[in-house]
Structure 1
Amino acid sequence: MATSITTTSGANHLTLEPNPTQQHQQRTSTLRNVRPFLIGGLSGMLATTCVQPLDMIKVRLQLSDQGTKHTVKPSSLTVARAILSQGRISDFYQGLTAALARQIVYGTCRLGFFITFEDALKTRAENNKTTYGFPQRAFASVCAGGLAAAIGNPTEVALIRMQSDGLRPIGQREGFRSVVDAVIRITRSEGLFALWGGCAPTVIRAIATNFGQLAFFSESKHQLRAHTNWSEQAQTLTASAIGGFCAAFFSMPFDFVKSRLQSQQNAQGSRGKYNGMFGCIVKVVREEGLLRFSRGFPAYFSRMAPHSVISLVIMDKLASIFK
């Protein structure tokens, strides 16, 4: 580090002081590196708060009628009515602390990594005088999603457990008070590795989600800028809606498997109903039919689309403000 030297009179005493210019540069560099993660976490938390009721309905649909193939299938409306009949409107926000914790970890990492990877790939393309296109956007999105999902899996498990608790008989409900309570109790009763239950489908789902959402959002916005005269806001809204649909389309089967695996409770050393991701897929197809994976798509899309629009619009706006 460059320093300035000051000498005190009357003594040969040297004081080394940091160079103010270099200190400022270091602070700026640190802020530049941290900024994408702060933007990602904030945008994800705001979006999650808005769509939490839809996420609750989606999870309940995925976990209803397990092991049955020829029963009357519940709809989003019947699930919503059932939740209301059990308590208050606030029950739709059951598991919100876990959902926000998930965004603090997963949301912060996935959008932060994506912005960081995308900026690095753009810089590399400029230096090499090559094109930055959809393959590079896809690479940045899947890497960001996979890494973030692996890091944030414990919050996923806590969220699913809290949201599915209301489906159990009253005497068997855990009654988790918060995400911290859920994590502690799951670890005590099932072991630490239970927090990474369903990690494989979670990572695959995140890769599919981020490929659909971030890669198509970035590419759509690039194409809209090149071929339309729309305003910046219109381009961002349209691109985020496209990203939301693609995210839901690519990720729903993996989200279904993830919910099933993470909702099951296993005592330490015991095996649950589903033996891994592929075991879950085979069992569901055999017992409930192939179309079971697509049940609840309207609820899933209704949750995914606004979450994508809100989070991506906020991310884009914050990124432009704090350039």
Structure 2
Amino acid sequence: MSTSNSIKQAAEAARNKTTEAMNATKQLADTAKADPIAAKNDLLHTPFMRAALPFINGGTAGMVATTVIQPIDMIKVRLQLAGEGARTGPKPTPLSVTREIIAAGKVMDLYTGLSAGLLRQAVYTTARLGFFDTFMKAFTTRAQAKGEKIGFKERAGAGLSAGGLAAMFGNPADLALIRMQSDGLKPAAQRNNYKSVFAALSHIAKSEGVTALWAGATPTVVRAMALNFGQLAFFSEAKQQLKDTSMGPRAQTLTASAIAGFFASFFSLPFDFVKTRLQKQQKRPDGTLPYKSMIDCFGKVAKEEGMLRFYRGFSTYYVRIAPHAMVTLIVADYLGFITK
């Protein structure tokens, strides 16, 4: 008898939940007809959307920033690949590289690899900003429960963790970007002339194996952790320090972004340099690779090209990182404001 009653109670509860869900759906539809803005706000405040918004806003912000700075990224990669293996090799400048690219083709060649850059941001920046925001909320909740405030240690931990996790997801797109940008350095007969990021990924997987899509993953992860430590941790810290100054909100965001861009560049450039070299390399006729690992690459470059080679193009890198950080963080801040 008790079993029968339990079944009846369960069935009645299921019917009640179904009725409640149908009523809620009807109410949302009625609200949408009567007040579209209120309906949008209801959707934005569902648990799923609250969890997803940091990732959506982060990815959108990163893609906007990449579209703006793609030519600078192209120049940065070409600077890092110039004079490989020679201490006294060519000493290109951002201007000379730009002239060379334009002379060899057309102005739009500066946007080579844009599809890979956008895919990378859709994966990498979506993940890193989303994870960072999620970790920061968790740290903040834990600190408030103890009656404390989060400090630089928590911000650094969130930045390092978010950067490392996101870099693993984004490595294939990052690899495709480097291959597309360096393809023009090869003799015409040896170029792959990738039509899109998906063509590049397919060609690499077929000719070198699927695992090759994670070539250079170690320096990519370390570089991402260093970059995020510099960018997100220092941006969050700078905003906190500037909060009580006479600067307006926009000026605070711009200043904090510039500060974050400098530290992100300083900490991450050596790893970005090694990442570019490892991702560009392909097997020689004898089946060997120029560099065996991140450590091997660091050692060979330091010995053959000098320690300062790791910081070649720092100004270009900063001009690439700082605006990207500023545009990304400003757009993310704005999207966070209109979707809060």
Give the alignment's TM-score, normalised by structure 2.
0.88
Specify the alignment match of 2:37 in structure 1: none
Q: Distance in 2 between matches of 1:136 and 1:321?
A: 26
Secondary structure of the 1:175 match is: coil
Q: Distance in 2 between matches of 1:120 and 1:140?
A: 10
1:147 deviates by 0.1
Gaps of 5+ in 2: 1-9, 29-41
Task: Give the AA of the match of 1:278.
Answer: I
Secondary structure of the 1:103 match is: helix
CA contact (8 A) 1:244 1:305 kept: yes
Deviations 1:92-130 (A, max 9, x none): 000000000000000100011111111111111111212
CA contact (8 A) 2:44 2:339 kept: no
Give the alignment's TM-score, normalised by structure 1.
0.92
Q: Distance in 2 between matches of 1:203 and 1:269?
A: 29
Q: Distance in 1 between matches of 2:286 and 2:14?
A: 63
Identity over aligned pairs, percent: 51
Specify the alignment match of 1:317 in structure 2: 334
Secondary structure of the 2:247 match is: coil
1:177-188 matches, cutoff 5 A: 177-188=195-206
Task: Give the AA of the match of 1:265.
Answer: Q
1:269 deviates by 11
1:134 deviates by 0.7
Which sits farther off after the overlay, 23-32 or 61-70? 23-32
Structure 1 residues 314 and 57, CA gap change in structure 2 (3 angstroms): same
1:27 deviates by 7.0
Structure 1 residues 62 and 25, CA gap change in structure 2 (3 angstroms): closer
Q: Distance in 2 between matches of 1:313 and 1:89?
A: 28
CA contact (8 A) 2:239 2:253 kept: yes
Which sits farther off after the overlay, 133-142 or 18-27? 18-27
Task: Give the AA of the match of 2:76.
Answer: K
Specify the alignment match of 2:314 in structure 1: 297
Task: Give the AA of the match of 1:320.
Answer: F
Task: Give the AA of the match of 1:17.
Answer: T
The structure with the largest helix share of the pair is 2
Q: Distance in 2 between matches of 1:230 and 1:263?
A: 44
1:287 deviates by 1.1
Specify the alignment match of 2:75 in structure 1: 57
Q: Distance in 2 between matches of 1:297 and 1:25?
A: 44
Specify the alignment match of 1:236 in structure 2: 253
Structure 1: which 4+ aligned runs deviate by more than 4 Å? 1-6, 20-27
1:270 deviates by 3.7
Specify the alignment match of 2:127 in structure 1: 109
1:26-175 matches, cutoff 5 A: 28-175=46-193
CA contact (8 A) 2:180 2:200 kept: yes
CA contact (8 A) 1:191 1:268 kept: no
Q: Distance in 2 between matches of 1:271 and 1:281?
A: 18
Q: Distance in 2 between matches of 1:117 and 1:268?
A: 47
Task: Give the AA of the match of 2:74.
Answer: M
1:3 deviates by 5.8
Question: In the alignment, which of 16, 19, 22 is matched to residue 17 of structure 1?
Answer: 19
| Bigger CA radius of gyration | 2
CA contact (8 A) 2:163 2:221 kept: yes
Question: In the alignment, which of 254, 266, 273 is matched to residue 249 of structure 1?
Answer: 266
CA contact (8 A) 1:244 1:308 kept: yes
